[in-house]
Homo-oligomer: A and B are copies of this chain.
Amino acid sequence: MARDLRDLSLCAINTATLGFQAPVEQVIEAVARAGYGGIAPWRREVEGRDVKAIGRRLRDARLKVLGYCRSTYIPASDRAGFLANVEANRRAIDDAALLGADSFVMVVGGLPAGSKDIAAARAQVADATGLLLDHGKGRGVKIALEPLHPVYAADRSCLSLLSEALDICDAIEGVTASPWLGACIDVYHVWWDPNVKRDIARAGAANRIFGFHVCDWLVPTEDVLNDRGMMGDGVIGVRDLRAAVEAAGYAGLIEVEIFSAKNWWKRPMNETLKACAGRFATAT
């Protein structure tokens, strides 16, 4: 049965939704005060700061830390570049552990400069995922592959389909009751996929759903990167996808992640937090 999202303890805020208007300490306080159960912070808010202190603040605020966003892009033109990217991600996973994050979110990157070989880029992603899974296990941080909408295949994520992410998981980790490797499912990226419900069921059966992100696809979309909509304002069957994810066994928090340069990022944090709460209840 679908959960009642008027209970904000089931809901989390990806800090990007608030437009990075304030230091993370203030964001943490605002999200906690608004009653949310969780948060997903970004490296840009954390790196170069006292990460342990931010972790303490998150625990004091009693916010569950879901995914830590996000990986340095993996594919590189040569082996040295690839290894440097992997190493940067190991350091980010160390920070994810200090923050108490459940998972490290991998947005894997597109084609290296000058390449026309997307299959080769994907092979690098699979290799890196294996290396980072080992590191994540050692730190107690899960690895969450996030397939991105195919519009980003060239420059942000050569991993497009949920089925691709699951294939990588199966190839690396095999069948296990308590996987460390899984996927984030973001409605923005997967809503159009005719196989998405099949793949959600597959992911759930393998306990590989590590996150469920909501927003909406506006018509028209003026900018495919930073013109996402609030749940209910677009064409995605958000409730239908949430039902599929919950039917597949997902019992974790539901996270709102809205990149919206022209609308939500221009509003005060508390206004956006209030709107999210409303739309969790009515349109998610």
Q: Using a CB–CB distance below 8 Å, which chain A residues touch chain B?
A: 110-111, 115-118, 122, 149-151, 153-155, 158, 160-161, 164, 191-194, 217, 219-221, 224, 234-238, 240
Contacts of A151 in B (CB 8 A): 149-151, 224
A36 to B120, CA, bound (A): 35
16 contacts between A and B (CB under 8 A): A110-B235, A111-B235, A116-B237, A117-B237, A118-B191, A149-B150, A149-B151, A150-B150, A150-B192, A151-B224, A154-B217, A154-B221, A160-B192, A161-B193, A161-B194, A224-B224
User: Does the CB pair A219–B122 fall under 8 Å?
Assistant: no
Other-chain residue from B149, B164, B240 in contact with A194 (beta carbon distance below 8 A) = B164
Q: Is the interface of A mostly helix, strand, loop or mixed?
A: loop
Closest to A159 in B: B194
Contacts of A164 in B (CB 8 A): 194
A155 to B234, CA, bound (A): 11
Closest to A220 in B: B155
Contacts of A117 in B (CB 8 A): 237
A217 to B237, CA, bound (A): 29
A122 to B149, CA, bound (A): 19
A199–chain B nearest beta-carbon distance, Å: 13
